[in-house]
Amino acid sequence: MDDASRRSRRIRLTRTTLSSWQTGQSRPQNWAALETLLSVVGELSDLSAARLDRRRWRAVYDNAAGQSAPSSSSATPGPASGTRVRNADPILLGMRQARKSAEHGPLPPYVERDADREIDTALEAAALTGGLVLIRGDSTAGKTRAAFEAMSRVLPDLELLAPRQEGALDRYVEQARARAHRGRQCLVWLDDLERYLGPARLDQAVLRELVGCRTVLLATMRLSEYNHRAPRQTGAASGDDAYTRIDLSDPVLKAATVVDLPRKWSEPELARTEVQTDPRLLEALRHHERYGIAEYLSAGPTLWDRWRGARYAGGNPRGHALVAAAVDLARAGLAAVPIELIAALHSGYLADEESVMLMPESLDEAKAWACRDPLGVTRLLIPAGRDLWRPFEYLVDTLAQQPDAPPVPDAVREAAVEHAAAVHERYTVGVSSYRADRHDLALRALMPAAEAGHTGSMHYVGSILLDQKKEARAAIWWHRLAKAGDAHGMVNLGVRHSRKGRDKKAEKWWRRALDAGMTDAAAKLAHLHDVRGEREEAEKLWDIALVAEVPDAFFRFGMEAYEREEYEEAERLYREGADRGHQESLTNLAQIHLARGSYDEAEKLYLIAAEAGDYVAMRTLGSLHTWRGRIRSAQEPREKRMRQIAESIAARHPAEWDTAAESAKEWYQRAVEQGDVLSMRLLGNLYHQRGKYRKAHKCYRRAARLGDPASAAYFNQPVLAWAEPRDTHFSDDEPGEYEEEQGPWAPTPRTLRVLAAALEIESDMAAEALEELQDEPITADSCTAGCFDLLPAQTWNQDLAWRRQMIRAFDDLADDIRQGRLPQPRSTGEEMALHLALEHAAALTTDDPGLVAEFTEGLAEHPEDYDWFACKDLLFEDHDVLWLYEPWMDGIEDPDDDVHQYVRAANLRPDDWFRPFRDDRDRDPDRGFRH
């Protein structure tokens, strides 16, 4: 038989089959089979357009199934609608058939799943009051079969409504209401729930009406689709996290009772499979190590391999490209699209040189290959009604799970935005673009839907504008949301007024949001009353928030429990808050583990919080990495820990720059990028501890400019405190002539003369600055032209009397030199004064030798003139005062501080600076002041 004869015979057979279906003599097994036959006819024959009108054939099919013909203006019941659950046809409800078997039906026997009991319980509860039960899992996990079997077991007598995915649910709400009036309860079947969600479909209002009729909604949803719509946070305005908890999840999903169905089967499930006799189940069982049983039965792995393996010379590289385009369109938010759109985009997947070498097949051949069902189960491209096609979901999910999955090409995202017409399409495309950080495309997709009044799109538009720091424009959308009765918009308006200091307006909007059922507003109102000191009203609102499980409430009560030292209760509350996405709760929970010495667990929690954007967690991780290997267990004896700390302080050797330091630096830098100034200071500490003083200086200066006062004091630390000494003129074992003649070392006369001059200059400059400064506190922006802003930050709030004593410390040391005594400090204030004067003297001898020559005129030169390092080492008993410049020694001035007690630091509190170290060396209290 030649090709023309074969073609003619195939057309005659096809016409005969269509005629028998049209006259009712027989009917197709399912609508997909009919659509496939129509596609074949369209390619082979010259049948009239009327004969191939899919809408007309859909009516024929529905009539054959006992239903009314579809209407172009209203929703159309699916083929199973109006029947009892017990009489439902699983194939017509969307169940995938297994591979054909001569001895067995299209579906293998059902194997009890571990989740069945939980599904049954959820359905029983929903039957009492109405409600949505959602079975969630990976593609081909067996969700549809489990749902069908559950409703057949638990609710066989309910009337079944199975909407078509293309239509709205208004008609089904009316049917459910009418049946409820007659005392009949309905079950709405929603396989692949994502196809029904959206404006003018299943939204919060429709769900409320259905539940009001005690309707049971039974749905399935792929895990990837659920995660796209799950509760999540949007960007916050700079320096404030008030907007971060705006929930962009679908409210329908939040109202559902969710049951998870794993893709991989458990040991009990596998054991129940072993006793089956269906060869298809037993074959799937042999592959369970790699695949789930339902996954294998649905031919998912086989079709995945068929698609991925088609790209070779002589294979189906163009067919591979068609499916790739459809898969990426689905990833971009468009599930069902015309084949023409897929064909228009597929050439982008064949643009490389390798694809040209493969000599792709014709487009018609590629379409036939992609749309063919080689196993009698499903196909790579599946009919989705009215000339629409969608990829087999398994391909979309499996690709997304690949570690090297390529991003959706820009051309595909652009095409998705252009093609999206319906509001729900614009919404899904916009959300996909938003999640891919393509906010420009997201705005283009979402704006028309937002303008049409879709609240979900409005939320995203406002969030994108907020991410772009356009709060005023975002507020326009919050006003629209609030006007539409959306409580999220009301909360955001309250936040904006609060940020502007308009507390009364903020309270008004938060009250309205609370009245509208937004319990998050209770926490915001409670905080507002806390600030006002209205404790009774605040407590009432906090209690409301806690009962409603608002994350802020768990955090607040957790802090109170921690302050009462009820650490177990604090941990419980923080964990509750953390489980609900509250970053600060997670960070405080990690802090509890850190305090207990559970460093590994603390680090895990900090990592989660840091990845969620909490800069406090980032900062803490930096500190953990900085001190890794040197953190002492809380169980160690206190004496041992204090000794180790003191030894490390005494050694003062720079630590090595190792992998821990590099990791700490990265965490500090990430925290700085989030706006955490303290982390910039800690980065300076990291450099300082490892001897990288110039880098430390830059970090401290930058932190000070950003408003950290302590950093301003740190970068003012005297250079001689950490600089390396110069080479000495004499070696240790060959003392010079000067040392032999003079005995113990002492500064040379010229050295003492310059040092005395430096002390007097410091005193005069400080006195001049004090005339303007008086009692005013010093800030990071202060520039007194005296010593006061160079002192450790602990002294910046001291008064005029204290500052005059500091000036007198310079004068007392200068007077010691004039009286022929060594300038050896007798108090902490004099130690500090001598450090600053040595710094000044060293600068004079380096930068102004002419002035130094004037100071030292008439004094003989000496080889050890101006050895300021020797002065630093030998004129002081110790350098304890310099610890106040060490960032990691914060608090050492406190006599109750553990380190202070162990190292026996003396007089480091500013109030004690001018108390003599020893009573026998006290200066004359009546000596007066030069200034």
State yes or no: pLDDT of 433 exceeds 80: yes
Express each pLDDT in 763-807 by its tens digit.
999 999 998 889 888 876 666 667 888 888 788 889 999 999 999
pLDDT (0 to 100) of residue 823:
93
| Alpha-carbon span 685 to 697, nearest angstrom | 9
Express each pLDDT in 476-506 by its tens digit.
998 999 988 888 889 888 988 888 889 999 9
User: Two tokens at 38?
Assistant: 């129509």
Give which of 290, 315, 310, 311 is closest to 300, Cα–Cα.
290
Instruction: Name which of 75-84, 150-159, 428-437, 681-690 the model is least confident about.
Output: 75-84
As a whole number, mean pLDDT of residues 530-558 equals 90
Winning range, highest mean pLDDT, from 4-8, 310-314, 391-395: 391-395
pLDDT (0 to 100) of residue 759:
94
State yes or no: pLDDT of 413 exceeds 90: yes
User: Two tokens at 134?
Assistant: 């959602």
Is the torsion defined by CA of 470, 471, 474, 479 positive or negative?
negative
How do 131-137 and 257-260 pair as beta strands? parallel
| pLDDT-derived band at 286, boundaries 50, 70, 90 | confident
User: Is the distance from CB of 541 to CB of 518 less than 8 angstroms?
Assistant: no
H or E element that contains 220: strand 216-222
The label of the residue with tokens 């326009």 reads: 476
Which percentage of the chain shows pLDDT scores above 70? 76
User: Two tokens at 777?
Assistant: 């506190």
The more confident residue out of 459 and 170 is 459
pLDDT (0 to 100) of residue 903:
62
Please count the other Cβ atoms lying within 10 Å of the Cβ belonging to residue 575. Answer: 17
pLDDT (0 to 100) of residue 395:
83
The string of DSSP letters for 677-712 reads HHHHHHHHHHHHHTT-HHHHHHHHHHHHHTT-HHHH
The more confident residue out of 258 and 393 is 258
pLDDT (0 to 100) of residue 15:
55
Angle at 634 between CA 631 and CA 637, to 5 degrees: 105
Winning range, highest mean pLDDT, from 312-316, 609-613, 702-706, 754-758: 754-758
Paired strand residues for 131: 216
Express each pLDDT in 555-606 by its tens digit.
999 999 988 888 889 999 999 988 887 888 888 888 888 877 787 888 888 8
Long-range contacts from 557-561, C-beta under 8 angstroms, 24+ separation: 558/585, 558/588, 559/588
pTM for this predicted structure:
0.57
Strand-by-strand arrangement of the 159-161 sheet: 159-161, 186-190, 216-222, 131-137, 257-260
3 state SS of 687: helix
State yes or no: pLDDT of 76 exceeds 60: no
As a whole number, mean pLDDT of residues 228-245 equals 48
